[in-house]
C-alpha cells in the first residue's frame, strides 16, 4: 500500500493548500481538451480536478511538465469541491474526493519534488478519506500508527483502522491493492498486537464494530 500503484481535514487546511499552490499551476493549458478540463473545475467538477492532479504528478497528458505543487493544488481542489459546490452527482464526486485525499496523504507522507515530508498533514489527509470508508487510507493510517509515526501514539485507534480496512478486503483475490491490505506483508497488524493488551484489543474491536463512515456528502457550512 505504499506505492501509487498499490495504494493508489479539514476545510481550513484545504483552503491554505489552495492559497499556497494556486500561483504555481499552469494558467494557459495547451490544447482544447486541457482547456475544457480546467474550465470544468470552475463549476465544481471534482473528476477533472483529480485528473489534472494525476497529470501534473506524472507529467503526462499534455501538461507542460511534472509539477508536484500543481498536483497538490488540483488534488486539494478535487478533495474539497464536493464540500463547497453541490452537484447532482455528489456521491460520484465524493469518490474522487477520497482518491484525491489519499494521494495527498501519500505525497505528504514521503515528500516529493519540493513538497516537504509532513507526517501531520499526511495523517490529516488520510484520515479525511478513512473516515468516509476509503480502505486504502484506513490501511495507511493504521500502518502509520503501527510504525509509531503518529503523535500521540494510539495503538487502539491504529488497530481499529487496520481492522476496518481488512474487513473490506477479506477474501479478495482479483485486485493487488486489495490483496496487499488483506495479507499485510509489512506486518503492521502483528506489530500492533505484539504491544497491545487483551483489553486494548477488545476495545479496538468494539470501536471497529460500532464504527460508521461519515456521509459521503457533507453540505457546505455557511
Quickly list DSSP for 7-74.
----HHHHHHHHHHHGGGS-SS-SSHHHHHHHHHHHTT-HHHHHHHHHHHHHT-TT-SS--HHHHHHH
Q: Reply yes or no on whether the pLDDT at 110 is more than 50.
A: yes
Same domain (yes/no): 111, 140: no
Residue 220, in any domain of the structure: no
Which pLDDT does position 219 carry in this prediction?
61
Separation between Cα atoms, residue 177 and residue 181, nearest integer Å: 7
Please check whether residues 145 and 121 belong to one and the same domain. no
- Banded pLDDT at 56 (limits 50, 70, 90): very high
Write out the residue range of the structural domain in which residue 197 sits: 133-212
| 170 is a domain residue | yes
Q: Which residue has the higher pLDDT, 14 or 83?
A: 83
Using pLDDT thresholds of 50, 70 and 90, give the confidence band for residue 182: very high
Unique residue bearing C-alpha cell 481550513: 12
Last residue of a domain, one of 91, 108, 131: 131
Report pLDDT for 131.
95
Long-range contacts of 26-31 (CB under 8 A, 24+ apart): 26/63, 26/64, 26/67, 26/70, 29/62, 29/63, 30/62, 30/64, 31/62
The residue from 86, 104, 131 where one domain ends is 131
Examine residue 222 and state whether it is found in any structural domain, yes or no: no
**Residues of the chain above pLDDT 90, percent:** 59
Same domain, yes or no: 106 and 9: yes
Q: Are 11 and 140 in contact (CB under 8 A)?
A: no
Least confident span in 34-43, 105-114, 141-150: 34-43
Residues 194-209, mean pLDDT to the nearest whole number: 98
My answer on whether 102 and 201 are in the same domain is no
- The residue from 100, 116, 131 where one domain ends is 131
Would 218 be classed as within a structural domain?
Answer: no
Is pLDDT above 70 for 11? no
The number of folded domains in the chain is: 2
Do both 22 and 90 map to the same domain? yes
Same domain, 172 and 91: no
pLDDT, the chain, mean:
83
Give pLDDT, residue 30. 55
In this prediction, residue 105 carries a pLDDT of: 96
Amino acid at each position: 500500500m505504499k506505492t501509487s500503484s498499490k495504494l493508489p481535514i479539514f476545510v481550513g487546511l484545504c483552503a491554505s493548500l489552495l492559497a499556497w499552490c494556486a500561483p504555481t499551476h499552469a494558467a494557459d493549458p495547451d490544447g482544447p481538451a486541457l482547456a475544457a478540463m480546467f474550465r470544468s473545475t470552475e463549476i465544481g467538477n471534482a473528476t477533472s480536478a483529480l485528473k489534472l492532479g494525476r497529470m501534473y504528478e506524472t507529467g503526462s497528458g499534455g501538461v507542460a511538465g511534472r509539477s508536484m505543487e500543481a498536483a497538490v493544488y488540483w488534488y486539494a481542489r478535487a478533495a474539497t469541491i464536493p464540500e463547497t459546490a453541490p452537484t447532482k452527482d455528489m456521491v460520484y464526486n465524493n469518490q474522487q474526493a477520497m482518491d484525491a485525499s489519499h494521494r495527498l496523504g501519500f505525497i505528504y507522507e514521503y515528500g516529493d519534488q519540493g513538497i516537504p515530508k509532513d507526517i501531520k498533514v499526511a495523517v490529516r489527509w488520510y484520515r479525511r478519506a478513512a473516515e468516509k470508508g476509503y480502505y486504502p487510507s484506513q490501511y495507511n493510517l493504521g500502518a502509520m500508527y503501527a510504525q509509531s509515526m503518529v503523535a500521540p501514539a494510539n495503538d487502539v485507534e491504529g488497530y481499529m483502522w487496520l481492522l476496518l480496512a481488512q474487513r473490506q478486503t477479506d477474501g479478495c483475490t482479483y485486485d493487488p491493492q486489495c490483496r496487499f491490505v488483506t495479507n499485510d506483508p509489512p506486518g503492521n497488524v502483528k506489530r500492533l498486537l505484539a504491544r497491545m493488551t487483551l483489553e486494548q484489543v477488545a476495545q479496538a474491536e468494539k470501536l471497529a464494530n460500532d464504527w460508521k463512515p461519515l456521509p459521503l456528502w457533507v453540505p457546505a457550512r455557511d
